[in-house]
Structure 1
Amino acid sequence: MKIIFSRKGFDSASGGKPSPILQDGRMVSLPIPDKNSPIRYSDIHWQEFNIGNIVSDLTKGKIPATHFAHLDPDLCSESLPRLPEWKPILGQTGAAQGHLRNNGVTTGDIFLFFGLFRQVACRSGKVEWDIDSPLRHVLWGWLQIDEILKVDDYDHSRYKWAEYHPHFHRNEETNNTVYVSKKYLTLPELSARDVAGAGVFSKYSDQLQLTAPNAKTPSVWELPQWFYPHNGKPTFTYHADMTRWQQSERSTILKTAARGQEFILDCKEHPEAIGWLKKILTSTR
């Protein structure tokens, strides 16, 4: 099994801002803008909030609620009206999809989604940044692969429930691919139906933060000690340069690559990853 650390949501390059962590700890990953998507920010709901209002407030109107949004991955059933067959879904194309394909990502592998986050405050009915809070990379969701579909060659009658998704509204691309989630997570020693096959973490916790506590930049991560490369072999793809890695008595510090959307970890090489993943998925939901 492989774990794919997949960067998704608002950041300095796409959207121009981080995603918000509310004062009560709840967090939501904001989808990036996408003029080809059929979904507007104002169409998307999250708990008692309309995402269009949040995006408009946090960008000071630079991205209005009426702008189109790349809702991908789409993990929460309540975000939009759904057809009965709906399942959580992720799309990939371009170099990111090529990297997944070249590294043999397949059914049963698990995406862990992370993004750039910052705390916000609600004042006078609007959401505003807490400028004293740090920027940080945080894990916010997951998806275990059940099916992999090529968008240019799929059964339209079987997957009509998925055709709202932005990856079905792109120009023709030979490697445009979508990943459909399992209904329930399948991991060793995890009882059936204990954890959904895809979902989001409802609240921030230190266990979900990747950025090292005292780091000057979000891209410096603090990870469990076992992440440190064995025999010079990097744990993640895109991180072959050993100068990125440091080991302490209790943890591993990694200066993550600026390029590369998907960092892939092979659990065959690092079996400790399965226990670490189970702990995150069962204790932080």
Structure 2
Amino acid sequence: MKRFQIPAYGSPPTLVETPTPIPGPREVRLRIAACGLNFADLLMIEGKYQERPPLPVTLGMELAGTVEAVGPEVDAELTGRRVAVFAGSGGLAEQGCFPAARCVPLPEAMTFADAAAFQVAYGTSHVALDHKARLQAGETLLVLGAAGGVGLTAVEIGKRMGARVIACARGAERLAVAERAGADHLIDTDHADLRDAVLALGGADVVYDPVGGDQFTAAMRACNPEARILVIGFASGDAPRIKANHLLVKNLTVMGLYWGGYLAFRPEVLTDSLATLFQWYDEGLLRPHVSHTLPLERSAEGLDLLRTRKATGKVVICMDQPA
């Protein structure tokens, strides 16, 4: 079987042949159909991600496929089930073994590509906006990087929760994607002063920030009193420093969110959130935006689409797609 992996942190990933894995206790083996790419995969390659699995590392954090074998202490009836898994790694492969407890059954109508694009992006935004920020109907949500993988889902979920959504992105084409997801107002960060533009729209009650850098600072200055700022990531490469006195003056709250971290201490936060999200999908209320699907052999090209910000929404690797 083929895997797309790194032999060492800081080394370029390559496609390699390895033996078919055998599931251990409480594990299942999946025939992987699709794997969603994330900005965190780029950090994993560089050894800069908050988790560093043992080397060599097969990339790919979220995946979907069919259970083809089960290990000891796993119900044999799982065999043949269509499931999604947030694994942290191992998704960019034709097969893989994963904890049975992390397998989430797919809605009947959900494609493997949609499932592979779903968990991290929608899960991050839903837990951030609902569990952390307690976003309320009628509040103004400012989404930075609104055409990216997680930003676009924040626009969609924010509207689903009744917020007025201001979407920020670079260029008219990317803003059009955010508008189709439900954004009420659009700000082109290539041309507009972010702080002035947000204040002209009445300021922000909640800020969703996967970008960091100067945009974080501008967004914080455009916050209303008692606003909540969600730190999701640093796609700009710059983790900003926050002056505590600025938080004090407006009674601001800054909160970080590492979605996968909940698996270690409150996994029910994720499982409850995903149950809600899958129900919304089944009701036709959510539809993942996948801008590119590529075969396993072109995984490096998919990662480069994220690195150069040429993708909108998600990039998905489909194992049965011709090279």
TM-score relative to the length of structure 2: 0.23
Larger Rg: 2
Greater helix content: 2
